[in-house]
Chains A and B, each alone.
Chain A
Amino acid sequence: MPTAILPMDAAPVGAIARLMHELGKLPGIGPKSAERLTHYLLASDVEQVHALADALHAIKDKVHPCRQCFNLTEGDLCKLCADPRRDASTLCVVEQPRDLASIERAGSFRGLYHVLGGRLAPLENVGPENLTIDALLRRVHQGGVKEVIMATNPTLEGDGTALYLSNLLADSGVKITRLARGVPSGSVLEFANNQMLADALEGRRAF
């Protein structure tokens, strides 16, 4: 017997319908997948389902921004800020925790981060007061920071945010840099798009 698929805007009735409705709100999960996951969970061990429910509770109850860098953490400081081997004189400024995670995965940066919580977007009513800019300025003015690397997204708004920050920090005496952009290592020029090639030429450096 086929199960009716719940329309997104219909009020869910009963525990099964409610779970399908909630799962269906997740990115990439359509009504069919929501239904399949719900039936999978119904057939699973009670311990497994409780473990999932506990994990869901925990991300909202325990995870919060790091006091220093605004990365996500369960402690007062995130594990990067708490690690004495990290170089506290270099700060890498990113928009979101997921950008930090991407840079960490690349494995070559040894400094600390600062997560802005977004980018300046006056058209969307996102101004400096909506980001962690004051906290960044305090960190820099406290001393000990020699270089701030702007690693906001290379979009117009991301670049605009980096420009705004570099203007604010211009008199702080710290070195301000930004990520290079252009042709990725290991790729071939033939497949680089026009903008990558233009950026790579503009950002060329001496041998």
Chain B
Amino acid sequence: MPLEKATALVIRNTDWSETSRISTLWTRELGKVRCLAKGGRRLKSNFESALDLLTACSIVLLRKTSGSLDLLTEAQVLERFTQLRNDLSALYAAYYVAELLGDWTEDYDPHPALFDEALATLRTLGQPGVACGPRLARFELVLLRELGYAPALAQCASCERPVAGSSPPGHGLAFSAAGGGVICSACQGQHGDRRPLTHEAWQALQTLNEAGDGWKSIEDPAVRATVRQVLNDYVTYSMGRRPRLLPYLGS
């Protein structure tokens, strides 16, 4: 049975026995793995405190065949996001990152770019001057793209005509989760779940979707609130259920 090394983020812990736990780890190399950590509930175990929720650690695991749990043999802390312990909205945003990674990805389906984005998000949330809403929205758009659910933003999700040239700019735009993205004014009759989208909110969604630090420029509270609503609708629709953490999130 092969030993594998990986870089992991702890996204869930379940008590298994008095001293052991099952940890769900989201790894850069292997994707999501669930493994048994014997002695993982003891403070002085060789896992130290590497298995606390949302800790990044380097791990060694023994992969089991035929459906039994993998066995964690080593875990060492790489990075802890201590600022989350001082900011409740950042903490809830971070829990939401863990929920999406844990509940929306398959075992052993790696997405290194998503792993890197998750760690970058956790590093940033709760830092002085960082707005949790736009930072989290940026993470969600990367996740949606990685999992194959990227919403249509530059063109109408229905007729596929570019929406940038509509006149006046952004006039009559809407967003439909079931429709798959932005809907132009001509196509809106077909989409009962549509939500009106201002020109500014539409631009913000595109900025969030682009690589880089564009999310930092989204400051208008009304735009942030619309972005949150649109993503709530779209993530819930695409994932097939309403994430548990949504009621806790600010915009």
Find out whether the CB atom of B54 lies under 8 angstroms from the CB atom of A123.
Answer: no
How many A-B pairs have beta carbons closer than 8 Å: the answer is 48
Q: Is there a chain A Cβ closer than 8 Å to B166's Cβ?
A: no
Find out whether the CB atom of A155 lies under 8 angstroms from the CB atom of B53.
Answer: yes
B80-125 residues at the A interface, CB under 8 angstroms: 80, 84-88, 91-92, 95, 98-99, 102
Find out whether the CB atom of B245 lies under 8 angstroms from the CB atom of A160.
Answer: no
Q: Which single residue of chain A is at the shortest CB-CB distance from B18?
A: A27
Q: Compute how far the CA of A160 lies from the CA of B126 in the bound complex, rounded to whole angstroms.
A: 13
Find out whether the CB atom of B244 lies under 8 angstroms from the CB atom of A125.
Answer: yes
Residues of chain A within 8 A (CB-CB) of B77 are: 194-195
Q: Is there a chain B Cβ closer than 8 Å to A99's Cβ?
A: no
Q: Is there a chain B Cβ closer than 8 Å to A147's Cβ?
A: no
Chain B's interface size range is 20 to 34
Q: Which of A122, A156, A160, A163 has the most CB of B within 10 A?
A: A156
| A156 and B52 contact, Cβ closer than 8 Å, known pairs A28-B18, A123-B245 | yes
Q: Compute how far the CA of A193 lies from the CA of B48 in the bound complex, rounded to whole angstroms.
A: 7
- On chain A, the number of residues with a Cβ less than 8 Å from chain B's Cβ atoms is 16
**Chain A nearest CB: distance from B233 CB in Å?**
20
Per-residue interface assignment for chain B, residues 34 to 69, with 1 indicating a CB less than 8 Å from any chain A CB and 0 otherwise: 000000000000001100111100000000000000
Find out whether the CB atom of B52 lies under 8 angstroms from the CB atom of A155.
Answer: yes
Q: Is there a chain B Cβ closer than 8 Å to A130's Cβ?
A: no
Q: Which single residue of chain A is at the shortest CB-CB distance from B103?
A: A123
Please pick, from A27, A157, A167, A195, the residue contacting B53 in the complex, using a CB distance under 8 A.
A157
Find out whether the CB atom of A123 lies under 8 angstroms from the CB atom of B98.
Answer: yes
Q: Which single residue of chain B is at the shortest CB-CB distance from A193?
A: B48
Q: Compute how far the CA of A17 lies from the CA of B248 in the bound complex, rounded to whole angstroms.
A: 49
